[in-house]
Amino acid sequence: MNILDKLQTRLGPLGDHAHYAHGYYAYPRLEGEISNKMTFNGKEKLVWSLNNYLGLANHPEVREADNEGTKRYGLAYPMGARMMSGNTKLHERFETEIADYVQKEDAFLLNYGYQGMVSIIDSLVDRQDVVVYDAESHACIIDGMRLHMGKRFVFKHNDIEDCERQLQRAQKITEKTKGAILLITEGVFGMRGDQGKLKEIVDLKENYNFSLLVDDAHGIGCMGKTGAGTGEEQGIQEGIDFYFGTFAKSFAGIGAFIASTKEAIMFFKYNMRSQIFAKSLPMPMVLGALKRLELIRTRPELREKLWQITKALQSGLTNTGFDIGNTNSPVTPVYLNGTIAEATALVSDLRENHHIFCSMVVYPVVPKGMIILRLIPTADHTLEDVERTITVFNEVRLKLIEGHYQQEIENNCLLNY
């Protein structure tokens, strides 16, 4: 058997559903202007699946900056990697401004968020070091772990007692290897919406010698008084040694950054392989990121609108009996009980009959029998959107409980037979 033949037998837990999911439940095509309403399968849908938290994706000033950057520089400039020939004053200007915003000494602009986190972990630790990380860390963190040749210990999600136990295990090893401990968690967990217990973790520094790396992809721009992130929200930004943020959420773009001390950033510049050996972020994206940062810093009304919609959505759901877990961020999971087949029927009902588009999460991402409908409120949404969604969710929940979707599945099976 060769590799091509072998691929047909190992599609994986997600790929196993591709024969019916592709193009609809997976890889759907949302078309039109990025906003609260977009087109899916030729019809307008109310969309709750985009991480466009502050509504910047089609903000007129953002679009103008993106267009101006492309007009002035094209997509090729600068050519080459930053270290060799791809550095510019605007790249450096953004790094200075974002470092100031997140209250760190310096920052390093990265081409991609996912790849950036993988490379950060790879460059920070060696085989003498130990990594301790949260069990529900994002896939980019897990993939960074795969490159780590030393020990790694996982602690139960947001369980500080278990985190301390893993730190104790790590400390025993580093006492022998003379290595260091890196603790990794997230500011806001993108699936559940709960904040990482950053304050409690920082407090552990009183008894344990470790450095803290926080992935705040869902926190930057949303959390904290000024939107500087979950560290600001919890009052411990100075306790975060390495602060990581992406542009794929609140910034409505692409790219990322890592912020830390001047010495740490200089280390990254000469040791992050994904940056040393990759072409520099194109100028239109850098100019666009500068404009987005300006708006995030100077337009608090965008964040205020996001939280108005978030609070209305979450309180409306809980007041009508929905389980949204422990979220304390804009990410809003709605937990239901049902099979994968029932979940697909429910989501199809939402999209085709009620014209509401949201993401569905089922096994193997969550345990069998659980369905998560993941809603992402944004500054583009309206209170009318919230009211309509809660009304529809009550209708589909009742149909799920009464077995309507299961009956529909059985009837379809008989028809197909």
Q: What is the 3-state secondary structure (H, E, C) of 168-209?
A: HHHHHHHHHHCCCEEEEEECECCCCCCECCHHHHHHHHHCCC
55 within some domain: no
Overall domain count for the chain: 2
Asked if the structure places residue 54 within a domain, the reply is no
Q: What confidence score (pLDDT) does residue 242 get?
A: 98
**Residue 309 confidence (pLDDT):** 98
Q: Which stretches of the chain drop beneath a pLDDT of 70?
A: 13, 413-417
Residue 365 and residue 355 in one domain: yes
Domain containing 75: what range?
A: 60-298
Prediction pTM value: 0.94
Q: What is the structure's pLDDT at 29?
A: 94
DSSP one-letter code for 42: T
| pLDDT at residue 131, rounded to an integer | 97
For residues 92 and 213, membership in a common domain is answered with yes
- Residues 282 and 390 reside in one and the same domain: no
Q: Choose one of 251, 267, 298: the last residue of a domain.
A: 298
d(CA 262, CA 265): 5
One domain, residues 133 and 42 = no
Burial of 339 (0-12, 13-18, 19+ CB in 10 A): middle
Predicted confidence at residue 415, as pLDDT, reads 47
CATH number at residue 342: 3.90.1150.10
Can you give the pLDDT at residue 113?
92
53 occurs within a structural domain: no
pLDDT of residue 413: 65
> What is the rounded radius of gyration, in angstroms, for the C-alpha atoms of the chain?
23
DSSP 371: E
Per DSSP, the three-state class of 291 is helix
Are 167 and 239 contained in the same domain?
yes
**Distance between alpha carbon 412 and the CA centroid of its chain, in Å?**
37
pLDDT at residue 197, as a whole number: 98
Residues 257 and 339 in one domain: no
Same domain, 215 and 126: yes
Residue ranges in 213-272 assigned as alpha helix (H):
230-234, 262-271
